[in-house]
Amino acid sequence: MSDAYTPKPEHKFTFGLWTTANPGRDPFGEPTRPALDPVENIRKMAEIGAYGFNFHDNDLIPFGSSAKERDRIVKDAKKVMKDTGIVCSMATTNLFGHPVFKDGAFTSNDTRVRAYAIQKTMHAIDLGVEMGAKIYVFWGGREGAEVDLAKDPVESMKRMREAMNFLTHYVKDQGYDLKFALEAKPNEPRGDIYLATTGNMLAFIETLDHKEMVGVNPEYAHETMAGLNFSHHVAQAIECGKLFHVDLNGQKMGRFDQDLRFGSEDLKGNLLLVRLLENRSYTGPRHFDAHAYRTEDSDGVWDFARGCMRTYLILKEKARQIDDDVEIRALLKEIRNDDEQYQSLIEAHDADGFEKLKRAKLNPDELAKRPLRYERLDQLLQEIILGVRG
Ligand code: GLT
Ligand code: MN
Ligand code: MN
């Protein structure tokens, strides 16, 4: 069955190999689903209309594989890509699974662990580029601490910078066409993770040698876990020209990292997020970094994946409905109350402008009288979401 919400490659939906291969393990329980072969995984993603797939080095090539085994898997994966048209849109490094990273990778106190983390990333970058990835994500799940006394947090920033600088120089030296996207998370698996929010990442990027090739990969669940407004972080990244990638999913505030199906929590927030991405012409992949409930079997995983994409497309249509709604448009215009004269004063950074604004007759009591019809506006939005506004 195909309808207006049927995903197609042009929608640029992607999934990490780890998302649909998630076997349903959690800290309290064993897997509830069988393992999924990565090449089969890619084929199935293509079949349900995804544009691309993403992977950690070890999602595709198991840790410790021989060179021969690596080449065989790469060959098989490339064949599926050729047969189906699916692309590899992003690659990343697993710097969290192996016990060597128990106290961090790029920010480990042990120089040799830091060197190993950089070495592993160089190999993973080579692999990502070979598969065609144009974006390389850095999620530092183990870069943090429980015992703050043991690690100097200022030095940790320096170590993080050293690693990122090394790797941007490496990419340039190799002549790769690759951009980096840094992904923040406040905690989990570490008690506290360094560079906890997208805002922290944006500030950190400005200190790098090749900052032009580094942006962010905000994840809905991560800002939401910390009780923050995800769209505001995405908006700041867009405004800085740094939204290189985005991880979409569902998450309740204040909980562990749930990575639920996109749109399954906070429909209003997700609708405004989709509207932001669409209206601000975000052209990168829409990556669903989530997984199916533990209750699902192998088929249920694909219900989950289809659900993420369908919900996105439904919300995209609702976003258009908001922007076409005559009453909403009129309300938004009224709420803004643009005034060209004062706007030009705010923009004029000269002596004349300073003087004029100082002497301008602005009466706060009068200004405060203007009602802002947010009740009506929000109710209209609510009725669009609930599907009762024509
Ligand atoms: C891991 C994490 C995600 C990151 C992935 C990339 S791995 O699943 O929870 O948020 O995006 O390393
Ligand atoms: Mn997550
Ligand atoms: Mn993520």
Pocket test for ligand 1, best of 93, 220, 289, 291 (most atoms within 8 A of CB): 289
Query: Is there an atom of ligand 1 within 6 Å of 57 CB?
Result: no
3-324, what's its fold?
A: TIM Barrel (3.20.20)
- 259 Cα nearest atom in ligand 1: 9
Residue with CA nearest ligand 1 atom 7: 139
Atom of ligand 1 nearest to the CA of 95: 12
What pLDDT shows up at residue 254? 94
Could you tell which of 106, 139, 143, 224 is best to mutate to test the pocket of ligand 1, judged by most ligand atoms within 8 Å of the CB? 139
136 lines ligand 1 (CB under 6 A): no
pLDDT of residue 355: 96
| Ligand 1 neighbourhood includes 143 CB (under 6 angstroms) | no
Residue spans per domain, the chain? 3-324, 326-386
Ranges of the chain with pLDDT below 70:
1
Q: What is the whole-number distance in angstroms between the Cα of residue 365 and the centre of ligand 3? A: 47
The overall pTM is greater than 0.85: yes
**Cβ of 103 below 6 Å from ligand 1:** no
| Residue 9 alpha carbon to ligand 1 centre in Å | 23
Q: What is the pLDDT of residue 2?
A: 83
Q: Pick the catalytic residue: 57, 59, 259, 289?
A: 59
Residue nearest to atom 5 of ligand 1 (CA): 139
Question: 3-class secondary structure for the chain?
Answer: CCCCCCCCHHHCEEEEHHHHCCCCCECCECCCCCCCCHHHHHHHHHHCCCCEEEEEHHHHCCCCCCHHHHHHHHHHHHHHHHHHCCEEEEEECCCCCCHHHCCCCCCCCCHHHHHHHHHHHHHHHHHHHHHCCCEEEEECCCCEECCHHHCCHHHHHHHHHHHHHHHHHHHHHHCCCCEEEEECCCCCCCCEECCCCHHHHHHHHCCCCCHHHEEECCEHHHHHHCCCCHHHHHHHHHHCCCECCEEECECCCCCCCCCECCCCCCHHHHHHHHHHHHHCCCCCCEEECCCCCCCCCHHHHHHHHHHHHHHHHHHHHHHHHHHHCHHHHHHHHHHHCCCHHHHHHHHCCCHHHHHHHHHCCCCHHHHHCCCCCHHHHHHHHHHHHCCCCC
Which pLDDT value is given to residue 390?
81
- Establish whether 56 is a catalytic residue: yes
**Residues 11, 37, 56, 222: which is the catalytic one?**
56
pLDDT of the residue at 1: 65
Cβ(92) – ligand 1 distance below 6 Å: yes
